[in-house]
Every structure is written in structure tokens, then in C-alpha cells.
């Protein structure tokens, strides 16, 4: 068969995503489990409601700076695959592959696993999920140079999460428009639930303004410990804001991408930041910082304090929220691996498009399998800490790449340019670099402390980096096969 005939017969992805759906994809992909799950962990690090609120605002502003920077490149190069395509233009084939491989091996599949895990975790508010025998749950698997993981811990929760990942993958097989419809519906529902929680707090009269300014009586980090606490808290906040770049992954299926992508990114991140600030004020007003620090499920505890049975209402809202976020991540992420295979740096099977529904079917299913494997690799917090470090390495590289493109391709048509250039991208790069250094330092300190106490531990930054580098042989194998083709 001639190449031209092959290209004609090969089904293609379709442009069918409009502005509203893209805003819903961004908002729905960002708002997942973090805003409901992470405030308690962050409060335990900071011990101050003022600094807790400041961290959420700082993370929102920095995320907006990153989104505005990314939007210029996305509007100029509106192709399916997003930052993989951008990195190829900025840095070349191999760095682009490392980005795409990291999305598959750690970041996006790890996000899917973590979101599904929290969905299943909140399900236990309604039904008891069976667990394995005690000995099975405590079994650890040592990984040289990294640490130990407990794959069979919380077996019932992980089992339900695996079912969710499989079900959403199946749903997204039936077309990007169908997946977008699911996304819009769940995003509207989750925003409504968040507004309802704030209204419940205001109407209940259980809030106390003094909680917003009263620090913890037991948690007071100072000196270098304060900086490490800030880094740890920012990890939690950035996990909650993560997913904003999902829009670029589906750029090749967006209607009028040069106009739609920048507008949807700006409006989407602004909506998320406002929602997060309102919810955190509500949390801090109802619970003292010490109560938040000991709470595993902050939103449920707040709702339960406001009204009897409120905890179950919030549990349902969290399930809905994580359901929508997992759907957005599954929908968008498979397009990265599809683009990689199209460029000849990933196995050919990832480029297979469903003949009827025009979706990247092989990428969706392989993503499903690996996400479930990551699900059993560790706990929710270990997954999020591992993927946030890797994600921010590439966020930083992407912002630097904006300068590379402006210098290398000054005549590239740019329908949108980042405002206040170069200060917004420079601010993002500077902050991200400091954040990465503090995150690495904090992770090494926690690992050394756990090892000294004889507790199982994993070096999350090391595990994430190892998974990224592990893909190198795949790149050279695929490139060699591409050269050998006639």
C-alpha cells in the first residue's frame, strides 16, 4: 500500500471542542481531590491559617502565570499532543520524548491513579470496602536505591479505584464529544456542590472569625523548617491546581484554537482560584488550625459540623469531583502518547485511532493498564508528591522554552502573546526553581528521618526521576526502527 493511501484510510482526530467545553475541561481537570483532601495535610505543616490561605493564593497566582505563558505557545502551535509538540520545537526530539514518557510513566497516569484512589476512599463514607488479611496489607516490596512500597495496603479502596479507571476509559473510547459532555456535566455539578458548601457554612452560624487569625498551639516551624513547611504545603496546593495544561493536549481537537485556548485557560484558572479561596476561608472559619491539622477529610468534617449528615453530602461531592477530574485527565492525556507514536518516538500501537469513534483507542487502554499499576504502587500522598516534582521540572522547562521560541522563531504567527513579557514568565521560572529545590530538600530530609526510625520509606523525587529516565531505551529503540523502515 502506498503511503498516500495509508494516510487517507487512517482515521483522524476531529475538531469538535468549543470554548465552553474547554473551560469545563480545564476547571473540571483541575478541581479534583486536592481541595478536599490536602488542606488538612497543609495545616499540619504550617500551623497558621493566615499562611495556609496565603499558600493557596500564591499557588493560584503562579499557576495563572504558568497558564498565560503556556497559552502563547499553545495558540501558536495548536496541535494534538500539547507540550510534547512544544518541547520538540523548543529542545528537540529526545527532551520532548522525556516529557511525553514522564507524562505516561509518572505524571498523568499517576494523577489518574490518585484521583481514582480518593474517589474510592470517600466511597467508604457510604459502604465498607473489604480489605485483605493483615499480613497481606503489611507486605512491602523493596526497590533498590528508592525505598519500599506497600502495594496491597487498602486493597478494597484500590480495587474500586481500578474499576473506576476502567469504566472512564471505556466511556472516553466513544468519542471526544461524548467525553466532553461527561466533563461539562460533572464540572457544573462539582462547582454547584462547592457553592452549596460555602452557603452551608454561612447559613449554619458555626463559623468563627477568630479561627482565621489564631495560630496553632503546637505547630510553629521556624527558620529553615518554615521554608521546608512552605515547600511541603505548596506541594499540596500545586497538586490541587494541577491539570491546567490538559487543554494543550487536545489542541488538535479544539475549534478555533488560537482564540479558544488562551481565553479558556485564563477564565478557567480564575474560576478555580476563586473557588479554592472561598472554600479555604470556609474551612478555616469552621475548624481551628489544630482541628484541620488532625483531619483526614477536611470538607466532610466541616460539613458535618454545620449540619447532621453533612459529611455524607460532601463525600458525594468529592466523589463527583474526582470522577470528573479523572475523566478530564483520561480524555486529554491519551493524546500525548498518540502524538508521540505519530512522531515515531513511541511504539506504533499508541497511534491507533478507533475506526468508528475517531479516538486514540490504543493509547486510552494502555494508559488504563499503567494507571492501575501505579495505583497499587503506593499511597495517595506518595503518588501526588512523586508526580508534582516531575511535573514542575517540565513546567519550568516549558516556560524557559517560550524564550527559546521567541528567539528561534521570531516570525511564528502568534495570535496571543503573554502579557507583561518577559516578567510573567520570568516570575514563574524563578518561583518554580526555588520550589523544586525546597521540594527535593524536604523529600530527602523526610526519607532520611524515616530510615533512621526504621520505617518503610520511598524517596518520592528519586522514584519519579527514575521512572522518567527508565524510558530512554524505548526512545532509541523506536528511533532505530523508524530509520530502518523503507
pLDDT along the chain (486 residues), means of 10: 45 69 85 81 88 93 91 85 87 89 84 86 81 65 58 78 93 74 81 85 80 82 83 84 79 79 90 93 89 83 80 81 86 87 84 78 91 76 65 89 92 87 93 84 74 63 75 82 58
Q: What is the CATH number of domain 13-484?
A: 1.20.1740.10
What pTM, to 2 d.p., does this model score? 0.79
Residue whose C-alpha cell reads 468534617 in the numeric block: 301
In this prediction, residue 1 carries a pLDDT of 40
Is residue 137 within 8 Å of 131, Cβ to Cβ? yes
User: How is the chain split into domains, by residue range?
Assistant: 13-484
Can you give the pLDDT at residue 41?
A: 86
pLDDT on residue 134? 63
Output phi, psi for 143, to 5 deg.
Answer: -120, 115
Longest dimension (CA), the chain: 75
End-to-end CA distance of the chain: 13
CB neighbour burial string for 235-246, b if at least 16 within 10 angstroms, e if fewer = bbbbbbbbbbbb
The pLDDT assigned to 399 comes to: 93
What pLDDT shows up at residue 5? 41
Question: Which of 388, 382, 341, 391 shows the shortest CA–CA distance to 361?
Answer: 341
How would you class 453 by CB atoms within 10 Å of its CB: exposed for 0-12, middle for 13-18, buried for 19 or more? exposed
Phi, psi of 149, deg, nearest 5 = -125, 160
Amino acid at each position: 500500500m502506498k503511503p498516500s493511501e495509508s494516510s487517507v484510510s487512517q482515521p483522524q482526530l476531529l475538531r469538535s471542542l468549543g470554548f465552553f467545553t474547554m473551560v469545563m475541561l480545564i476547571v473540571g481537570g483541575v478541581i479534583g481531590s486536592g481541595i478536599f483532601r490536602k488542606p488538612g495535610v497543609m495545616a499540619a505543616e504550617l500551623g497558621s491559617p493566615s499562611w495556609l490561605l496565603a499558600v493557596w493564593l500564591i499557588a493560584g497566582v503562579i499557576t495563572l502565570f504558568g497558564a498565560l505563558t503556556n497559552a502563547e505557545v499553545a495558540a501558536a502551535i495548536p496541535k494534538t499532543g500539547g507540550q510534547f509538540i512544544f518541547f520538540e520545537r523548543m529542545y528537540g526530539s529526545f527532551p520532548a520524548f522525556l516529557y511525553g514518557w514522564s507524562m505516561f510513566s509518572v505524571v498523568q497516569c499517576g494523577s489518574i491513579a490518585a484521583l481514582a484512589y480518593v474517589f474510592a476512599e470517600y466511597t467508604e463514607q457510604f459502604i465498607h470496602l473489604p480489605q485483605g488479611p493483615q499480613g497481606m496489607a503489611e507486605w512491602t516490596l523493596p526497590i533498590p536505591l528508592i525505598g519500599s512500597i506497600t502495594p496491597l495496603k487498602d486493597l478494597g479502596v484500590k480495587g474500586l479505584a481500578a474499576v473506576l479507571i476502567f469504566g472512564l476509559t471505556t466511556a472516553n473510547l466513544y468519542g471526544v464529544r461524548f467525553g466532553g459532555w461527561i466533563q461539562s456535566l460533572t464540572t457544573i455539578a462539582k462547582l454547584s456542590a462547592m457553592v452549596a458548601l460555602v452557603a452551608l457554612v454561612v447559613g449554619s452560624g458555626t463559623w468563627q472569625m477568630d479561627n482565621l487569625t489564631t495560630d496553632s498551639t503546637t505547630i510553629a516551624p521556624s527558620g529553615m523548617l518554615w521554608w521546608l513547611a512552605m515547600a511541603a504545603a505548596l506541594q499540596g496546593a500545586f497538586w490541587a491546581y494541577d491539570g491546567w495544561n490538559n487543554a494543550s493536549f487536545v489542541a488538535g481537537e479544539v475549534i478555533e484554537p488560537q482564540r479558544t485556548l488562551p481565553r479558556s485557560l485564563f477564565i478557567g484558572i480564575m474560576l478555580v482560584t476563586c473557588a479554592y479561596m472561598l472554600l479555604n476561608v470556609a474551612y478555616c472559619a469552621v475548624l481551628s488550625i489544630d482541628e484541620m491539622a488532625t483531619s483526614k477529610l477536611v470538607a466532610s468534617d466541616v460539613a458535618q459540623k454545620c449540619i447532621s449528615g453533612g459529611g455524607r453530602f460532601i463525600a458525594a461531592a468529592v466523589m463527583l469531583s474526582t470522577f470528573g477530574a479523572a475523566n478530564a485527565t483520561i480524555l486529554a492525556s491519551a493524546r500525548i502518547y498518540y502524538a508521540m507514536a505519530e512522531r515515531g518516538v513511541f511504539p506504533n500501537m499508541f497511534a491507533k485511532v478507533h475506526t468508528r469513534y475517531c479516538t486514540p483507542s490504543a493509547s486510552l487502554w494502555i494508559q488504563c493498564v499503567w494507571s492501575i499499576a501505579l495505583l497499587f504502587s503506593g499511597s495517595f500522598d506518595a503518588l501526588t508528591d512523586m508526580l508534582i516534582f516531575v511535573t514542575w521540572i517540565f513546567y519550568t522547562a516549558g516556560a524557559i522554552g517560550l524564550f527559546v521560541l521567541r528567539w528561534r522563531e521570531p516570525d511564528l504567527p502568534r495570535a496571543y502573546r503573554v502579557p507583561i513579557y518577559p516578567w510573567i514568565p520570568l516570575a514563574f521560572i524563578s518561583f518554580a526553581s526555588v520550589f523544586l529545590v525546597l521540594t527535593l530538600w524536604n523529600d530527602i530530609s523526610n526519607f532520611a528521618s524515616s530510615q533512621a526510625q526504621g520505617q518503610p520509606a520511598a524517596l518520592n523525587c528519586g522514584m519519579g526521576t527514575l521512572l522518567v529516565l527508565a524510558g530512554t531505551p524505548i526512545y532509541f529503540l523506536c528511533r532505530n526502527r523508524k530509520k530502518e523502515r523503507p
